[in-house]
């Protein structure tokens, strides 16, 4: 029989083709490939011409039947593949897209657009090793089996739902606000996470607090209130001082706890974890890390990067020495990797360690690891070297023993009041040999329960409460991955955890960059790792949509739960579709009656605060004006006044109470004269050299 295999990307096609050429197959196979997503859902105007207009009266836009079209840059590829299928006289087609929901969507969005009726088989592999690809080729699955059919339907309905929410929602909110505002099932909840943190920071007022430190001669301890969840803080100094007076002159050791803390090497890299470490170490953004990892994958140096799993399969573990060969390419890791490769007992032990090797924890793709090829680092860019070395180091670390620390905790009591003292001593560096260890030993004296020490004195330690940290690429990525913690409903929180949060590791970076591009948020900072600031524009969007589903992770959780049920075969696709249509209609009706108040100038550079109402002052076409101009305020400054040009720099001075530089004005009489400007209350004054 004659088959046409279509892979998701050229690199995957070549991997399977090499196995086919080397080990053969019962049928004759021709190999072709996509280049990722070839198709996209049609635009509104492709269904109805009146949908091309942005008009509330046509919303919601609900196609009678969803259709796909080739992306602009993939039209030639589409025509070539279509011609190949129509003219190739094939008996069946092999779907070799990535094994998973998205792979099903990529293949069938193309195949169903052709109108052909050829049978489709599915190659379903757990990894890209030769033996596994041969096994998968010899055991092709039938696309008509219920599990695959349900997965395909779920993949399409997720795309339909995102189209309905994104396109209808964006148009509705834009039209009621009279300003372009993009909304989306994932994008808007992410914006809310950042806005909530921004408002926390803006409203944060630091508070002084005090802790009590007691000196017992050989060691010191911090007072804690055992009856109040071991609280150490006093927000009133007088109460701390009063507490000190209750202490005795002696301290008795009431508890000595010594334990060994064993810390194993972290799990292997998923894409999110690689992004987290790259941001923490080098300041790379999520999108930047994905691009670098993708480039290294295309060079066959790293395994497939778009994975959400930190585990590898048993088949990979059987070939550890092969994959460790790549690590020999990193000079500072070479000697250590060489020793590991010779230690068969260590290799065998790690191969059985479920912390790193677990087939059940690998869905579409296993963790990001080196591929086993020798690498000439000089041919890689500096960023590629950084990411490659980082992956090699994490991979090598799993073969090292854990880091061991001795932890000691002493509790001392004085007149019924207790003090806590902690210390730690490094015993064995373990896998941290591969990293920079920043720990400091805090050696405590050897004391025994019941020993009594003089309380030599106390000290009040004055401190301040600290605001929550701003999100950066690492912490925002983690927040998106663990979005279930923002959901109060336990069942929905569990669903989000199962779905691994908002977006996928491969799409999160793009979503964040879109928010930056739309000027809803911005990155700021002079250091290596920059943090996110929600702009006024983004804040106003979330405040206007306050409490609506589109801003909440629960929206994703609710519908992801239904999609998972379709895959399980416990929920009828028709019921999902009907519910989806009802929901979109209700959402549109709600949006049409929502008051969205977004300043038309809120995405412009803020020059300072309005002296009349304290709103932002921004630059217009011919004026510098208050953001509330024509609403509740009339503060405005012309860019030209009596012939003198007023620059942004001078306006910024004015808004901070300073005088401008001396400017030349042409008075109404026609005479010219020089003066400075200064804001007096809420009006502008001329300031002359000798008199006002």
Eight-class DSSP state of 194: H
Question: Of 315-329, 514-528, 656-670, where does the model show the most confidence?
Answer: 315-329
- Tell me the β-bridge partners of 414: 417
Report the interhelical angle of 146-177 vs 573-592 (nearest 10°).
10
pLDDT at 41 over 90: yes
Q: How far is CA 641 from CA 350, 579, 615, 682, in A?
A: 76, 61, 23, 17
Question: How far is the C-alpha of 522 from the C-alpha of 513, rounded, in Å?
Answer: 9
Token code pair at residue 593: 């009656």
The position carrying tokens 């919601």 is: 60
Poorest-pLDDT segment among 190-194, 457-461, 638-642: 638-642
Options 3.40.50.300, 3.40.50.140, 3.90.1150.10, 1.10.760.10; CATH for 2-144 is 3.40.50.140
* Dihedral Cα 348, 351, 354, 359, nearest 10 deg: -150
Question: How far is the C-alpha of 193 from the C-alpha of 683, rounded, in Å?
Answer: 40
Q: What is the pLDDT of residues 146-155, one digit of tens each?
A: 999 999 999 9
Average pLDDT over residues 127-151: 90
Poorest-pLDDT segment among 44-53, 157-166, 683-692: 683-692
pLDDT at 477 over 50: yes
pLDDT at 692: 45
**Which of 646, 675, 644 minimizes the C-alpha distance to 662?**
675
Question: How far is the C-alpha of 422 from the C-alpha of 409, rounded, in Å?
Answer: 5
Report the Cα 287 to chain-centroid distance in Å: 10
**Which of 85, 32, 43 minimizes the C-alpha distance to 66?**
43
Per-residue pLDDT band for 364 (boundaries 50, 70, 90) equals: low
Question: How far is the C-alpha of 626 from the C-alpha of 610, rounded, in Å?
Answer: 6
- Tell me the β-bridge partners of 409: 257, 422
Please list the residue range(s) of the chain that carry CATH number 1.10.460.10: 162-202+471-592
Residues contacting 370, CB < 8 A, separation 6+: 301, 302, 303, 323, 326, 327, 388, 391, 392, 395
Question: How far is the C-alpha of 347 from the C-alpha of 341, rounded, in Å?
Answer: 8
Taking the domain 271-397, which CATH number applies? Answer: 1.10.290.10
Average pLDDT over residues 316-329: 95
List the helix and strand counts (H, then E) for the chain: 22, 25
- CA-CA-CA-CA torsion sign (265, 270, 275, 276): negative
Query: Do 565 and 496 form a contact (C-beta atoms < 8 A)?
Result: no
Token code pair at residue 478: 């983690």
Omega before 38 within 30 of 0, i.e. cis? no
Poorest-pLDDT segment among 12-21, 147-156, 330-339, 666-675: 666-675
Q: How far is CA 296 from CA 249, 344, 620, in A?
A: 66, 29, 46
Query: Do 477 and 278 form a contact (C-beta atoms < 8 A)?
Result: no
Q: Which residue has the higher pLDDT, 459 or 634?
A: 459
Average pLDDT over residues 632-637: 84
Q: Which residue has the higher pLDDT, 102 or 156?
A: 156
Please list the residue range(s) of the chain that carry CATH number 3.40.50.140: 2-144
pLDDT at 414: 97
The position carrying tokens 């030209």 is: 640
- Domain 208-264+403-464: top CATH class: mainly beta
**Which of 225, 221, 210 minimizes the C-alpha distance to 417?**
225
**Which of 278, 640, 285, 221 minimizes the C-alpha distance to 459?**
221
Average pLDDT over residues 334-344: 97
Query: Within a 10 A sphere around the Cβ of 253, how many other Cβ atoms?
Result: 19
Q: What is the pLDDT of residues 544-602, one digit of tens each?
A: 998 899 999 988 888 888 888 998 899 999 999 999 999 999 999 999 988 888 875 54
Residues contacting 157, CB < 8 A, separation 6+: 563, 566, 573, 576, 577, 580
Per-residue pLDDT band for 603 (boundaries 50, 70, 90) equals: low
Please list the residue range(s) of the chain that carry CATH number 1.10.290.10: 271-397
pLDDT at 604: 65
pLDDT at 181: 93
pLDDT at 691 over 60: no
Average pLDDT over residues 63-70: 96
pLDDT at 125 over 50: yes
Q: Which residue has the higher pLDDT, 599 or 519?
A: 519
Question: Of 128-142, 409-423, 526-540, where does the model show the most confidence?
Answer: 409-423
Average pLDDT over residues 167-181: 93
pLDDT at 229: 93
pLDDT at 438: 83
Q: How far is CA 244 from CA 412, 416, 417, in A?
A: 15, 12, 10
pLDDT at 44: 96
pLDDT at 690: 62
Question: How far is the C-alpha of 400 from the C-alpha of 393, rounded, in Å?
Answer: 11
pLDDT at 19: 95
| Phi, psi at 365, each rounded to 5° | -145, 150
pLDDT at 538 over 50: yes
What are the strands of the beta sheet with 606-609, ordered from one edge? 606-609, 616-619, 623-626, 636-638
Taking the domain 162-202+471-592, which CATH number applies? Answer: 1.10.460.10
């Amino acid at each position: 029989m004659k088959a046409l295999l279509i892979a998701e990307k050229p690199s995957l096609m070549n991997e399977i083709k090499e196995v086919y050429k080397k080990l053969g197959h019962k049928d004759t196979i021709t190999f072709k490939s996509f280049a990722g997503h070839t198709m996209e859902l049609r635009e509104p105007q492709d269904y109805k011409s009146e949908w091309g207009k942005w008009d509330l009266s046509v919303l919601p836009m609900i196609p009678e039947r969803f259709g796909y079209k080739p992306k602009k840059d993939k039209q030639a590829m589409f025509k070539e593949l279509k011609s190949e299928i129509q003219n190739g006289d094939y008996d069946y087609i092999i779907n070799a897209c990535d094994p998973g929901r998205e792979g099903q969507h990529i293949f069938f969005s193309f195949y169903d657009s052709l109108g052909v009726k050829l049978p489709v088989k599915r190659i379903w592999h757990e990894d890209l090793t030769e033996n596994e690809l041969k096994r998968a080729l010899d055991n092709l699955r039938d696309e008509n089996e219920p599990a695959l059919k349900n997965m395909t339907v779920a993949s399409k309905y997720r795309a339909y739902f995102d189209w309905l929410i994104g396109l209808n929602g964006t148009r509705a909110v834009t039209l009621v606000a009279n300003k372009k505002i993009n909304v989306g099932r994932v994008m808007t909840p992410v914006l809310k996470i950042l806005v909530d943190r921004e408002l926390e920071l803006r409203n944060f007022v630091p508070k002084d607090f005090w802790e009590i430190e007691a000196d017992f001669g050989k060691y010191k301890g911090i007072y804690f209130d055992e009856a109040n969840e071991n609280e150490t803080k006093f927000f009133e100094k007088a109460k701390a001082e009063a507490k000190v007076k209750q202490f005795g002159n002696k301290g008795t050791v009431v508890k000595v706890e010594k334990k060994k803390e064993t810390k194993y090497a972290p799990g292997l890299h998923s894409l999110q974890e690689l992004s987290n470490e790259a941001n923490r170490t080098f300041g790379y953004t999520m999108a930047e890390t994905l691009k670098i990892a993708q480039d290294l994958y295309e060079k066959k140096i790293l395994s497939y990067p778009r994975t959400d799993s930190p585990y590898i399969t048993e088949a990979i573990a059987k070939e550890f020495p092969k994959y460790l060969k790549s690590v020999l390419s990193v000079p500072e890791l070479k000697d250590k990797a060489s020793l590991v490769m010779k230690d068969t007992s260590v290799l065998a032990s790690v191969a059985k360690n479920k912390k790193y090797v677990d087939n059940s924890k690998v869905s579409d793709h296993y963790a990001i690891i080196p591929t086993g090829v020798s690498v000439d680092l000089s041919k890689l860019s500096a960023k590629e070297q950084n990411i490659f070395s980082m992956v090699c180091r994490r991979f090598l670390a799993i073969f090292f023993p854990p880091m061991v620390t001795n932890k000691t905790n002493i509790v001392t009591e004085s007149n019924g009041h207790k003090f806590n003292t902690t210390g730690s001593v490094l015993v064995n560096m373990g896998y941290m040999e591969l990293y920079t260890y920043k720990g400091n030993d805090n050696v405590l004296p050897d004391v025994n329960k019941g020993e009594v020490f003089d309380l030599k004195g106390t000290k009040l330690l004055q401190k301040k409460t600290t605001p929550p940290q701003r999100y950066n690429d690492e912490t925002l990525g983690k927040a998106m991955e663990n979005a279930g913690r923002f959901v109060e409903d336990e069942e929905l929180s569990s669903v989000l955890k199962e779905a691994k949060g908002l977006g996928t590791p491969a799409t999160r970076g793009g979503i964040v960059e879109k928010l930056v591009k739309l000027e809803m948020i911005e990155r700021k900072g002079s250091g290596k790792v920059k943090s996110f600031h929600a702009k006024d524009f983004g804040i106003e969007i979330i405040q206007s949509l306050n409490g609506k589903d589109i801003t909440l992770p629960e929206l994703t959780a609710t519908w992801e739960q239904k999609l998972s049920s379709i895959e399980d075969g416990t929920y009828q696709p028709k019921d999902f579709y009907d519910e989806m249509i009802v929901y979109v209609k209700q959402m549109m009706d709600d949006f049409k009656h929502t008051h969205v108040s977004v300043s038309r100038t809120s995405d412009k550079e803020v020059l300072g605060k309005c002296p009349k109402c304290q709103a932002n002052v921004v630059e217009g076409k011919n004026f510098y004006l208050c953001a509330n101009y024509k609403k509740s305020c009339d503060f405005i400054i012309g860019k030209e006044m009596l012939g003198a040009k007023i620059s942004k720099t001078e306006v910024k001075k004015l808004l901070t109470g300073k005088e401008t530089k001396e400017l030349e004005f042409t008075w109404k009489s026609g005479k010219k004269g020089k003066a400075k400007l200064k804001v007096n209350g809420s009006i502008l004054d001329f300031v002359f050299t000798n008199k006002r």
